[in-house]
Every structure is written in structure tokens, then in C-alpha cells.
């Protein structure tokens, strides 16, 4: 029951996002990741990690925009991206950057 209520709350927060909020946040997040990329991890437990929190503030977005709880995303210098979603969920590789010739 508690998890269901949490999901409803998260959904309600996400409904407040505007397309402009999403664009500002995504553009700034991409810029910051490209500037600082080597190995990186982004996480949201119930609140986002410091990097996501600061990015949302710098993009002038409400941090309670409904980022997915219990989510982790790992970026590695080989171009791979691994994600887990849910409490104790295993990591899944979602992207491997192609080598450029």
C-alpha cells in the first residue's frame, strides 16, 4: 500500500513538469555530463543525487519534478551506460558507444 501511494505521489509531481522545464533540464544535464564525463553515476533514491539536484536548480526547475525513484544510471569511459530501476534491481546495459574510425 505504501509503495502504491508513493507511486501516486511521484506521478502527481511529474504532472507539474512543463515541456520547457524538461528541455531546460535535459539540455543543461547533457552539457554538464559532456564536460565532466569519464565515469559517472546518477542516482535517485527518493531524492536525486547532488549532481541532479544542482542541475535542476541551475536550470530553474522544481527538483520535485518526479524523477524516477530508486533509479541509478552508470556511465563508463568505454561509452557503456548501465541502468537499474527499483529497489535492489540488477543493472542492465542500455548503450554501448560505437567506436569511430
Q: What is the DSSP string of the chain?
A: -HHHHHHHHHHHHHHT--HHHHHHHHHHHHHHHHHH-SSEEEEESSSB-HHHHHHHHHTT--TTS-PPSSEEEEE-TTS-EEEEESTTPPPEEEE-PPPP-
Residues 53-63 pLDDT 10s: 998 899 988 87
The total of structural domains in the chain comes to 1
**How confident is the model over 88-98, as pLDDT tens digits?**
899 999 977 66
Does the residue 100 lie in any domain? Answer: no
Domain that holds residue 77: 2-95
pTM of the model: 0.68
Decide if 43 is inside a domain: yes
For the chain, how far is it from start to end, CA to CA, in angstroms?
53
CATH of the domain at 13: 3.90.640
pLDDT tens-place string over residues 19-34: 888 888 888 888 887 7
- Predicted confidence at residue 18, as pLDDT, reads 80
Task: Count other Cβ atoms within 10 Å, centred on residue 61.
Answer: 20
Nearest C-alpha neighbor of 78 from the set 41, 38, 34: 38
Amino acid at each position: 500500500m505504501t509503495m502504491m501511494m508513493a507511486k501516486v505521489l511521484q506521478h502527481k509531481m511529474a504532472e507539474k513538469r512543463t515541456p520547457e522545464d524538461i528541455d531546460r533540464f535535459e539540455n543543461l544535464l547533457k552539457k554538464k555530463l559532456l564536460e565532466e564525463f569519464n565515469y559517472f553515476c546518477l542516482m535517485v533514491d527518493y531524492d536525486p543525487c547532488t549532481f541532479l539536484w544542482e542541475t535542476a536548480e541551475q536550470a530553474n526547475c522544481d527538483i520535485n519534478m518526479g524523477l524516477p525513484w530508486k533509479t541509478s544510471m552508470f556511465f563508463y569511459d568505454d561509452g557503456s551506460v548501465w541502468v537499474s530501476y527499483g529497489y535492489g534491481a540488477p543493472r542492465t546495459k542500455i548503450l554501448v558507444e560505437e567506436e569511430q574510425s
